[in-house]
Amino acid sequence: PHPEQKKTSAEMLRIIAFLALLSSTAAFTPPTTSPVRTTSLSALAAWRDDALGAIPPVGYFDPLGLSNGKDDATMNLYREAELKHGRVAMAACLGWYVTAAGVHPAFNSQLSSDPLKAMKELPLVGWLQFVLGCGAIEWMAWQIKKRPGYKPGDILGAAEWVDDTDEGWVDYQTKELQNGRLAMLAISGIFVQDLFFGKYGDAVFGPFKG
């Protein structure tokens, strides 16, 4: 490719990395207090007192005040988004290191072990499968949301078998939220490290190596 094209591609990747970092941190918002309406106050009080993922030492975490004045429907949407981003981030971390380890089960193992380069090398048919697969999952999730008693993120219908009075189930949900939050930060850092330092395997000490 022409040097100017390489420069443009690099700039675009940097913009994408920055936006990904913003979106992942914005997802860290299980609710806070609201001074607007009585109904909102009572709804948010319930969220604050019973919110899954609100654990010591941080507790109920909403430094940007994104939950101010929001009703239950909006808060449920926020929780749905947080769970979805966390799950995708966990899968992304796993997929990144499988690729970085040189495991390429598709396309005759001809793709680069650098995940960012592999993205550019992936044939159109691969991207088509990816987009259609994600679209099918999204469509299925929207259909599931229509059922009565749906809880945010409960795609498999676990709420029909167990509720939040079960301490083990509450503990499981809290772990999923916490691991998802960590994964959102992790994949953002991994992406930026590969983009700026070219270190896609060693995500801890790579920037300090020559």
**In whole angstroms, what is the distance from residue 158 CA to residue 168 CA?**
13
pLDDT at 122 over 90: no
Structure tokens at 143: 């259909």
**In whole angstroms, what is the distance from residue 95 CA to residue 191 CA?**
12
CA distances from 28 to 19, 31, 56, 138, 182 (A): 15, 9, 15, 22, 10
pTM here is: 0.70
Q: Report pLDDT for 61.
A: 76
pLDDT at 118 over 80: yes
**In whole angstroms, what is the distance from residue 178 CA to residue 68 CA?**
23
162 vs 181, residue with greater confidence: 181
Q: Report pLDDT for 182.
A: 93
Lowest mean pLDDT, pick from 32-36, 59-63, 142-146, 169-173: 32-36
Q: Report pLDDT for 82.
A: 92
Return the half-sphere exposure (C-beta side, CA atoms, 13 A cut-off) of residue 56: 0
CA distances from 104 to 69, 83, 129, 130 (A): 48, 28, 16, 16
* Per-residue pLDDT tens over the stretch 152-180: 888 888 877 887 778 888 888 889 999 99
- Confidence class of residue 103 from pLDDT cuts 50, 70 and 90? confident
The CA dihedral of 8, 109, 87, 27, to the nearest 10 degrees, is -10
**In whole angstroms, what is the distance from residue 90 CA to residue 83 CA?**
11
Q: Report pLDDT for 20.
A: 54
**In whole angstroms, what is the distance from residue 26 CA to residue 33 CA?**
17
What average pLDDT does the structure give for the chain? 77
- Confidence class of residue 90 from pLDDT cuts 50, 70 and 90? very high
- Confidence class of residue 37 from pLDDT cuts 50, 70 and 90? very low
Best mean pLDDT range from 19-28, 57-66, 146-155: 146-155
